[in-house]
Amino acid sequence: MARLIRTEKEVEGRFEEVWIVVEEDPLEQWPEGPLEVVGRPAPRKDGAERVRGEARYTADIRLPGMLHAAVLRSPHAHAKVRRIDFAQALTLPGVRAAVGSGEAHGLEEEAGFAGAPVAAVAADTFAQAQAAVEAIDVEWEELEVVLDADEAVRRELLTEEPRRRERGDVDRAFAEADVVVEATYRTQTVLHNSLETHQAVCEWQGDTLHVYISTQYIWGIRQAVAETLGLPEDKVRVVCEFMGGGFGSKNGPDEYTFVAAELAKRTGRPVRCALTRREENTSAGNRNSTIQRLRAGARSDGTIVALEGEFTNALGWSGWNASTEGPMRMLYDCENVRTVTYGAKVNTPPMKAFRAPGFVEGTFGLECLIDELAARLDVDPLQLRRRNYASSNEGTPFSSKNLEDCYRRAEPHWERRHEVRGRSDTVWKRGVGMASQIWYGGGGPPSYAWVRLGSDGRATVITAMQDIGTGTRTAMAQIAAEELGLPLEHVDVVLGDSARGPYASISAGSSTTPSMGPAVRAAAADAREQVEDIAEQRGLPKGTPLEEIVAVLEESQILGKGARGPNPTGMSVLTFGVHVVEVAVDVETGEVVVERVAAIHDVGRIINPLGASSQVEGGVIQGIGHTLSEERLLDPETGRVLTTSLDAYRMPTIADVPEIVCEFVDRPDEHLTNLGSKGLGEPPIVPIAAAIANAIRDATGADVHELPISREEMLRALREAEARAREKEKRGAPAAV
């Protein structure tokens, strides 16, 4: 039975109040622990297809007669097109059409960053299109460029009003604290650099627009394209069967989609618009840099009494002001917290969501500060975290929270620190650090799935969701197989096409499994109940295998239908975890080697332990890149990106990957859906930077305050620590206060 409810919808930590129609979720949760299929490791159903090169990504789409588009981008960080002339470009070989600002959504007259899209050309080949773009004659009017985020805040160049939050009496709490620590942390701009660049192929068939696109949100693309082009939504078909990564950067359509659609309309041909790797590095979104000025006050027994943070997100020309203050407000039980968050509007490429936006950056600052506090108090960092354990989310109860279980499981890894430190020598200093994780990941309605069952005893799950590379296909098949009592090999999943299945959730905010899984289970249960009905009518005994029951169906089919039920009202659905990291630091050369990561996460029920481990490993590796080597650099004079290739933008290689130990609490959230599963896409990247930094402090005594922890930053921190130690020695002060 469907009902209309008013509810708070959360994606990536952004909330909005919406009306939605939800269906009841009457199924009891399965018992805790591994079942027949769910909870048991399953290799990816499409693994062989992918490694054989048979999987068809958007980048593989080649439609008959397809043209290629290239985009003209602003060379200036801030400029206006005074005059643009396509005449020369249109005479070049192979050129079919050109569009400028006002002709395709996303092409703007005012370029707010170097790399902003201005115009586009379609030609028979991509090289011809590129040549034509170079022949477009543009007269620019250069405008004032602001690159410094602090300057932008001073001048009130902000994307929105500063976000101020306060609870308790912060000033009094700081005045009464026994110990106050403060520090400024800076995090850099990093790029998603998905293996598959942002791209779309658009084709008109009659009045229907077919959009093949590398996306995390098929239905969001359908809605946004329809709205922008003034089409009924059913006249937009969106296809994404395989996807080469998004990490938050492919949640919506961008200029490349509208360029392809418009040029396809003008030429009557399919048009492909794919960003090059260079464009991917200049114009496809980023994790914005931050400046975090933080303060923590505590009593000498380790009780945190006050937290304060001023956060500046250097968002670029556009973007949204992610919750960098979130961890400070949510991770610990502290009565007095004050934060202000600025979204600085500067003339740099716009931010886009990037795997736990805000919380990755904010956790680095907060969890480093907590360890500095632990060092000052001479308290064990794990003990300090336990002492300040939050029992509610600012007064709202948690639907489930097993962070204490994570801490308990972390103990043996944490205990290793004595042995790890003991393996230090004069050059290589070793140490262990930890950091906690908090993030969203509850998903929500609406989401739908169908299950089709034939007389061969095979089931097909049909839903127009996307598998963005996380292994969703396999997890959904496992859920259906479990509910139907079928072997996993007898369940297929059809997804990736808005014309072939019902509405499905975005794959962002760690929401795919918790949003889609319950709908798939409900559809499978609906089918199972129909099967049981048939069995009863045939007088078959309980427990008769499904294949035997449906054998009589012949051409008839069983169609199950399922919907995602509502989230629990009045509860905070959050994910938790802790990382314990072992590092070695070469104190002469500043080299940092991450040797071991123990990642323990509480995300409710685990559907596929193998897929879950892969997620954690991927998050840890991406986090190591963020922590140690990745940084997008700009020319300080022009604001142009300097690191436009994968040799200048340094992602970790497989040789940089440490031993990664994954553990899960694997306890269903009893309040959350028929599965009790939360998402896991983002949690593993949240705590890794702080855990590495804290391990470095444990190993060397040096406080790193900036990401990435390059050799430059590491050597600076070591010099500072040495100077501090010398100063202390001179004063003859005791080692700890």
Contact set with another protein (CB under 8 A)? 588-591, 628-629, 633-637, 640, 642-645, 647-648, 650, 652-653, 655-656, 710-712, 715-716
**328, 360 in Cβ contact below 8 A?**
no
Other beta carbons less than 10 A from residue 290's beta carbon: 28
Q: Which is nearer to another protein, 483 or 630 (CB)?
A: 630
Q: Is 230 left (phi over 0), alpha (psi -120 to 50) or beta?
A: left
The separation between CA 524 and the C-alpha centre of its own chain, rounded to angstroms, equals 29
Give the shortest CB-715-to-another protein separation in angstroms. 5
Q: Which is nearer to another protein, 4 or 654 (CB)?
A: 654
Q: Which is nearer to another protein, 184 or 653 (CB)?
A: 653
Give the shortest CB-587-to-another protein separation in angstroms. 9
**Which DSSP string do the residues of 84-143 spell out, in sequence order?**
EE-HHHHTSTTEEEEE-TTTSTT--SEE-STT-EEEEEEESSHHHHHHHHHT-EEEEEE-
Give the shortest CB-592-to-another protein separation in angstroms. 10
Give the shortest CB-109-to-another protein separation in angstroms. 25
Distance CA 737, CA 728 (A): 12
Q: Which is nearer to another protein, 238 or 714 (CB)?
A: 714
Tokens for 138? 């543009």
Give the shortest CB-101-to-another protein separation in angstroms. 25
**575, 330 in Cβ contact below 8 A?**
no
Give the shortest CB-637-to-another protein separation in angstroms. 6
Tokens for 463? 């839903």
User: Any residues with CB less than 8 A from the CB of 377 and at least 6 apart, and which?
Assistant: 179, 298, 300, 302, 384
Q: Which is nearer to another protein, 392 or 653 (CB)?
A: 653
Q: Which is nearer to another protein, 351 or 709 (CB)?
A: 709
The separation between CA 353 and the C-alpha centre of its own chain, rounded to angstroms, equals 7
**669, 403 in Cβ contact below 8 A?**
no
b (16+ CB within 10 A) / e for 314-342: bbbbbbbbbbbbbbbbbbbebebbbbbbb
**186, 290 in Cβ contact below 8 A?**
yes
DSSP secondary structure letter of residue 358:
T
Distance CA 447, CA 443 (A): 10
Q: Which is nearer to another protein, 75 or 168 (CB)?
A: 75
Give the shortest CB-279-to-another protein separation in angstroms. 14
> Which among 27, 28, 7, 22 has a CA at the least distance from the CA of 445?
22
**385, 370 in Cβ contact below 8 A?**
yes
Q: Which is nearer to another protein, 75 or 162 (CB)?
A: 75
User: Any residues with CB less than 8 A from the CB of 728 and at least 6 apart, and which?
Assistant: 735
Q: Which is nearer to another protein, 495 or 641 (CB)?
A: 641
Give the shortest CB-593-to-another protein separation in angstroms. 8
Q: Which is nearer to another protein, 563 or 634 (CB)?
A: 634
Geometric angle at alpha carbon 549, from 546 and 554, rounded to 5°: 115
Distance CA 672, CA 563 (A): 14
Give the shortest CB-634-to-another protein separation in angstroms. 7
Beta-strand (E) ranges in 479-529? 491-494
Give the shortest CB-44-to-another protein separation in angstroms. 26
Give the shortest CB-9-to-another protein separation in angstroms. 39
Q: Which is nearer to another protein, 123 or 240 (CB)?
A: 123
Give the shortest CB-594-to-another protein separation in angstroms. 10
Distance CA 581, CA 417 (A): 10
Q: Which is nearer to another protein, 176 or 635 (CB)?
A: 635
Q: Residue 702, CB half-sphere, CA atoms under 13 Å: how many?
A: 28
Give the shortest CB-456-to-another protein separation in angstroms. 46
Q: Which is nearer to another protein, 231 or 657 (CB)?
A: 657
**457, 486 in Cβ contact below 8 A?**
yes
